[in-house]
Amino acid sequence: MKTLLVGVGGVGESIASIAKSRPWVEKIVLADYNKARAEEVQAKIGDPDRFPVEWIDASKPELIEEMARKYKVDLIMNACDPSFNEAIFDAAYNYGCTYMDMAMSLSTPHPEKPYEQCGVKLGDYQFERAEAWEKKGILAVLGLGVEPGLADVFARYAKDHLFDEIEEIGVRDGANLEVRGYEFAPNFSIWTTIEECLNPPIVWEKAKGWYTTQPFSEPEIFEFPEGIGKLECINVEHEEVLLVPRWINCQRVTFKYALGDQFIGVLKTLHMLGLDNKEEIKVKNVMVAPRDVVAACLPDPAHLGDRMFGKTCAGTWVKGTKDGKPRQVYLYQIADNQECMEKWGCQCVVAQTGFNPVIGWDLLEHGVWKGKGVLGPEAFDAAPFMAKMAEYGFPYGMQEM
C-alpha cells in the first residue's frame, strides 16, 4: 500500500511510526505545510526512501491530487485539523482513491436555536456526497481515529456480540495525565479541542433524532478502569453521535468527556474573550484568526511526551439486554504514556489515536474490510479489528458494570 499522509503533527507522526514495521506498507509520503516538521519526523523514523517528505498546502485540492498522482498512492490519509477535511476529501474523490480521516467535516450551529436544534452537522458535507463516491466505486472511511474510530468499533462489536437489544451507547473519555513544567498544556490539538468543546454538544435519541444542548451539559461521574478512577464527564460535540445511529439500532447516543475544572475554565475564558474565533480578524494590518494565535502560544502536543505522566482511557459504555437480562459493559483501551514513549517515541494521546487508522489500512489492504461510498467504522465487522489490537500493542479491555 502507498499512502499520502497529509499532516505530520503528533498524530501523523504516530501513524508513520506504528506503520513502519508493517511490510505491506510500501510507502508513506510525509506531507505537511511545515516541511521542517515532516523532515523531523522522517529523521526520527529513518528509511527516507520509504518515507519521503513533501511540502503541501492542505487547503488546495489540486496540490493534493498532483502529489497523489506523483506517488501513485492507493490511499489519502487526512491527519490535519478538520478545517481541511473538505479539500482533502474532495481531492481523494477527484484522484479516485480510498480516503480516510479521523474527524469528520465541521458543523455550523443553528442560526436561531443553537442549543436546541442542529444546523449543519458534523459530516454532513461528506455524507451528502456518499452517492457520488458509491457510483464512482471508491471508498471514504470517516472518523477512524480513537474517538471517533475505536469507540465506534466497540459499539459495533457490542451490537454483534454482547447485546440482543441496546438502550444507550455512550462514549466516555477520561485520563489521569499530568504535563509537568507548564501551568496549562493540552495534550491534543487545542484548535480541535476548542471546536468540539465550545460548539453545541449533540445528542441522538430515537424518538427525537439529533438535537443540541448547552456546552458542558449533563455532568455525570463515571468511574474509569485501571486506577484512573472517578471523573466528572460532560456533553461534548463529537462524531460518534452522528455515526453510531446510522448503523446501530439503539435508543440514545451520547459523547461525554472528562475535561476537568481547569480546562473548562480556560475554554470558557477563551470564549468570553472571543479567542475561540476561527475566522480571521485584522490586528495592526495583519489578518489572523484568534484561535490560531492561541494554538501558537501553547506548547506543541507532539513535543510534550517527555513531560507527560499517567494514562488515557478511551471507551464505549453500552446499556441494554442480553438473554432477557439487563446488561451494562464498558469496552475500553488504556494507553500509558511511558509505554508509548518507549515503544513509539510518541506521547500516549497521539499514539492511541494513530494505531487505529493503521489497523484500518491493514484490513483494507488484505481485503478483510471492503466497501464503497462514504462509511463510518460501524459499517465494518468489528471483530477482525479488535483481534489485531493486541498485535499492534494496544489491547482492549472490557468490564461489566
| Domains detected in the chain | 2-101 (3.40.50.720), 150-348 (3.30.360.10)
DSSP state letter for 377: G
Task: Name the average pLDDT for the chain.
Answer: 95
Assess contact for 319 and 166: CB atoms under 8 A: yes
User: Looking at residues 242-270, what average pLDDT do you find?
Assistant: 93
| Percent of the chain with pLDDT strictly greater than 90 | 84
Kindly compute the dihedral angle of the four CA atoms of residues 133, 75, 39, 309, in this order, to the nearest 10 degrees: 90
Q: What is the pLDDT of residue 335?
A: 96
Q: What is the pLDDT of residue 303?
A: 82
| Percent of the chain with pLDDT strictly greater than 70 | 100
143 burial via Cβ count (<10 Å: 0-12, 13-18, 19+): buried
Residue 302 has pLDDT above 80, yes or no: no
Assess contact for 178 and 307: CB atoms under 8 A: no
Q: What is the pLDDT of residue 248?
A: 98
Paired with 222 in beta bridges are: 231
Task: Say what the pTM is.
Answer: 0.93
| Integer Cα distance of 212 and 294 in angstroms | 26
Residue 263 has pLDDT above 90, yes or no: no
pLDDT tens-place string over residues 147-188: 999 999 999 999 999 999 999 999 999 999 998 888 887 877
Give backbone dihedrals phi and psi of 157, rounded to 5 degrees, phi first.
-65, -40
Q: What is the pLDDT of residue 60?
A: 97
